[in-house]
Chains A and B, each alone.
Chain A
Amino acid sequence: METQDNQKQEYNITVYTENQIGLLNRIAIIFTRRKINIDSLNTSPSEIESIHRFNIVITESEEVVRKLTRQIEKQVEVLKVYYHTNADVIWQELALYKVSTDVIAEKVSVERLLRENGARAVVIRKDYTVFETTGHREETDNLISILQPYGLIEFVRSARVAIIKDSEGFNSKLREFERLEPGEDVVENEYLNKGQKVFTM
């Protein structure tokens, strides 16, 4: 357990927050103060109106991640923080690739390329074509290397978004938070180090 605690690996930190100006900075400085690099950060409205969801990916030991999540959860406008290993989440990144339509139409079997890489064409214009894939980092990387010989003009990848496998959603929890005295089940973050059973959504 001790060694596992100190081993660095990718962790997916999920943060539910109020929609408040400045909160991104308040969360970001928790990492930068400790000189921890954020590998990926996504923030967008969640399924619940007025609640935002952050997905943050860092490579650290569980002990560090646990302390960080507690510091994040301490922020006034943060409702809840979870952390999970990659095995605990389903995650995707989205990538866009811009290539010259001429080259691609002439030299590549577009159909095969789309099929083999799970890509789709978002835009096909006379001068350029934009493909899109979603997947893990290796998959989006793979299409880069395939397209590179054909003059990849531009590439962009989104931050990671992740769905927690073992989760029942946040709606009921939010209602608990709105009560003056929230019930025990939503105040579970104190159990962060107490194993899987209590540390689920």
Chain B
Amino acid sequence: METQTITQEISEIAAKPAKAQAIEVSGSVALLEALIVEGVETIFGYPGGAIMPIYDALYDYKEKLNHILVRHEQGGIHAGQGYARTSGKVGVVFATSGPGATNLVTGLADAQIDSTPLVCITGQVFAHLLGTDAFQETDVINITTPVTKWNYQVTDATEIPEVIAKAFYIAKSGRPGPVLIDITKNAQIQKFSYEGYTKCNHIRSYRPKPIVRPQYIQQAAELINAAKKPFILWGQGVILGKAEQEFKNFVEKSGIPAAWTILGAGAISTDHPQNVGMLGMHGNYGPNVLTNECDVLIAIGMRFDDRVTGRLDKYAKQAQVIHLDIDPAEIDKNVKSTVPVWGDCKETLPLLTALIEQKQHTDWLKLFNEYTEKEVEAVIFDELNPATGEMTMGEVIKQLNDITKGEAVIVTDVGQHQMVACRYAKLNNTRSNVTSGGLGTMGFALPAAIGAKFGAQDRTVVAIIGDGGFQMTLQELGTIMQSKVDVKIIILNNRFLGMVRQWQELFNERRYSFVDIQSPDFVMVAKGYGIAGKTISERDDLASSLQEMLAHPGSFLLEVMVTKENNVFPMVPQGCSVSEIRLK
């Protein structure tokens, strides 16, 4: 039977009231039909023995489901993450049993800690072989339990529609996260009487959103209205909750300076006059120091990660803390709140905005600007505008900003270049910053950029990657080649594992232990994959090369040789308070 007709027949049946006549389909077909109803367009995956029936069914769905063949399952899941981040939809990943599934684990952990909605489908050996150490059998459910929001093993095809519906609902509702569904091969093959697909919108044991308590909104508003030096910290919750406009309204009415965590970047533009910069270990000077001077701290959709707070017992002790979060487990986890505002910030922020007075905290905002001036003088100016010597990472980002005008999606890997890119990238729009925040997964950027491009096809996607991280997943150049993904790749090559080297310099008396990493000729490697590229080491070539890269039709790799032993400053050394941030 043609796919077209199967799908038509199924959707006709699905449209009819219950008890309509069912048709016989395999578990695999039921899965693909479910994906279509869920609005899935792109799947990142890699076939293998235990998932072959699904891939066989996929052969007939090529027109409807765009399957991107990756080069490694880790690449597949990071691509799924990148897709979810830029599109705001659920990323879908296929992998086979055993090694295919275990290769997903890093990505699952990354998605779990960064709250990225994913549905991963893994093949599994036949149900009768479970527990027999069969070929490519791994206990995937137990391996992935700590790193998934939910997981489930399907051994019978009849379960598939309901389980997939739950998977999507759980992945995207409340605080999003990765879901893994492990489907045994017999269930993929098994035919059953399929009665259509119903999306899930309720699970009795699962409450995605806490109920909004008006009394806390009231208390929060009173604190804000009475505050002399209030300070807003926002995180990715604003973006995940699609509450950027509500957030902007709140910020602008309140007149309060606002700083972001790395995953919150771009929720309001980096140019916004009340956006005072980045928080945390390599964040901006003012936001860190003034955290310990504000009187009311308003944390929105962020979880007080240790990289943000530094030493907890010296963190904002003077402040009353208002914490808005959708996840009750985050309230009081790290920082005790005075007023906990449970709920989806898309609902709570407008309620709060309605109760606060329109204000301008001019002097307080001015203080942030004074700290910015100090930081510019001590760090930023030289980083972005070096006149002599080797190129810096910062000037590459600055030049890139000048050309993209802040319209590009910036995907970063992990390390020094990540901190520099996040500090200096100009972001006009939300969903423009894709990075591995919580897990700090080197090798994230290249595959994530592939997914990011599929999630935002009309946008320019620039991956900024270090020479170390690039070598962790460079096999995905093959995916870029085969699927003709238009990703611009900038390798900031300092011929070191820079962040570890920086720590060794600062805290281990320059004992450079295994940070001196050699690289292949990246341009040659790219060429091997049919990807254009060039390498530059002269400042004079920078702007024109960035222009060339961005104007190039299709993917392009630009390797920029930057100074070897630059450090990222400011820095809150480990074990120090945010107000002990160092400028050098």
Closest to B342 in A: A190
Of the stretches B142-150, B245-253, B283-291, the one at the interface is B142-150
Closest to A185 in B: B211
Of the stretches B196-204, B356-364, B366-374, the one at the interface is B196-204
Docked pose: A180 CA to B200 CA in angstroms: 11
Of the stretches B55-63, B324-332, B453-461, B574-582, the one at the interface is B324-332
Q: Which of B152, B201, B329, B340 contacts A74 (CB 8 A)?
A: B329
Secondary structure at the B interface, as helix, strand, loop or mixed, is: mixed
B484 sits at the interface (CB 8 A): no
Closest to A63 in B: B332
Within 8 A of A (CB), among B294-341: 327-329, 331-333, 340
A187 sits at the interface (CB 8 A): yes
Q: Which of A74, A76, A190 has the most CB of B within 10 A?
A: A76
A67 sits at the interface (CB 8 A): yes
Q: Which of A29, A73, A180 contacts B202 (CB 8 A)?
A: A180
In the complex, what residues of A have CB within 8 A of residue B211's CB?
182, 184, 187
- Given contacts A67-B333, A78-B205, A184-B211, is CB(A22)–CB(B342) below 8 Å? no
Q: Which of B151, B201, B205, B333 contacts A17 (CB 8 A)?
A: B205
B141 sits at the interface (CB 8 A): yes
Instruction: Please tell me if the beta carbons of A190 and B331 are within 8 angstroms of each other in the complex.
Output: yes
- Minimum C-beta distance from B332 to chain A (A): 7
Instruction: Please tell me if the beta carbons of B205 and A25 are within 8 angstroms of each other in the complex.
Output: no
Within 8 A of A (CB), among B126-160: 141-142, 145-146, 149-153
Q: Which of B141, B207, B210 has the most CB of A within 10 A?
A: B207
In the complex, what residues of B have CB within 8 A of residue A74's CB?
327-329
Docked pose: A193 CA to B152 CA in angstroms: 33
* Interface flags, A2-20, vs B, CB<8A=1, else 0: 0000000000000001100
A165 sits at the interface (CB 8 A): no
Instruction: Please tell me if the beta carbons of A190 and B203 are within 8 angstroms of each other in the complex.
Output: no
Instruction: Please tell me if the beta carbons of B142 and A25 are within 8 angstroms of each other in the complex.
Output: yes
A150 sits at the interface (CB 8 A): no
- Minimum C-beta distance from B303 to chain A (A): 13
B514 sits at the interface (CB 8 A): no
A88 sits at the interface (CB 8 A): no
In the complex, what residues of B have CB within 8 A of residue A71's CB?
329
Number of A-B contacts (CB under 8 A): 58
Closest to A26 in B: B145
- Given contacts A71-B329, A178-B204, is CB(A187)–CB(B146) below 8 Å? no
Instruction: Place the interface of chain B in its size category.
Output: 20 to 34
- Minimum C-beta distance from B141 to chain A (A): 6
Docked pose: A77 CA to B327 CA in angstroms: 16
Within 8 A of B (CB), among A70-129: 70-71, 73-74, 76-79
Subset of 14 A-B contacts with CB under 8 Å: A22-B142, A25-B142, A25-B145, A29-B145, A67-B329, A74-B329, A77-B205, A77-B206, A78-B205, A174-B204, A177-B205, A182-B211, A190-B210, A193-B332
Instruction: Please tell me if the beta carbons of A79 and B205 are within 8 angstroms of each other in the complex.
Output: yes
A189 sits at the interface (CB 8 A): yes
Which chain A residues have a beta carbon within 8 Å of chain B's beta carbons?
Answer: 17-18, 21-22, 25-26, 29, 33, 66-67, 70-71, 73-74, 76-79, 174, 177-178, 180, 182, 184, 187, 189-190, 193
- Minimum C-beta distance from B171 to chain A (A): 11
B499 sits at the interface (CB 8 A): no
- Given contacts A178-B204, A182-B207, is CB(A190)–CB(B145) below 8 Å? no
Docked pose: A74 CA to B149 CA in angstroms: 9
Docked pose: A119 CA to B203 CA in angstroms: 45
- Given contacts A70-B328, A70-B329, is CB(A187)–CB(B210) below 8 Å? yes
User: Other than the known A76-B170, A182-B211, A187-B211, what 5 A-B pairs have Cβ atoms closer than 8 Å?
Assistant: A67-B332, A71-B329, A77-B205, A174-B204, A190-B210
Q: Which of B202, B205, B333 contacts A76 (CB 8 A)?
A: B205
In the complex, what residues of B have CB within 8 A of residue A73's CB?
328-329
Docked pose: A149 CA to B327 CA in angstroms: 56
In the complex, what residues of A have CB within 8 A of residue B152's CB?
22
Q: Which of A33, A78, A190 contacts B146 (CB 8 A)?
A: A33
Docked pose: A76 CA to B333 CA in angstroms: 19
Instruction: Please tell me if the beta carbons of B205 and A189 are within 8 angstroms of each other in the complex.
Output: no
- Minimum C-beta distance from A26 to chain B (A): 5
Docked pose: A67 CA to B149 CA in angstroms: 17
- Minimum C-beta distance from A29 to chain B (A): 5
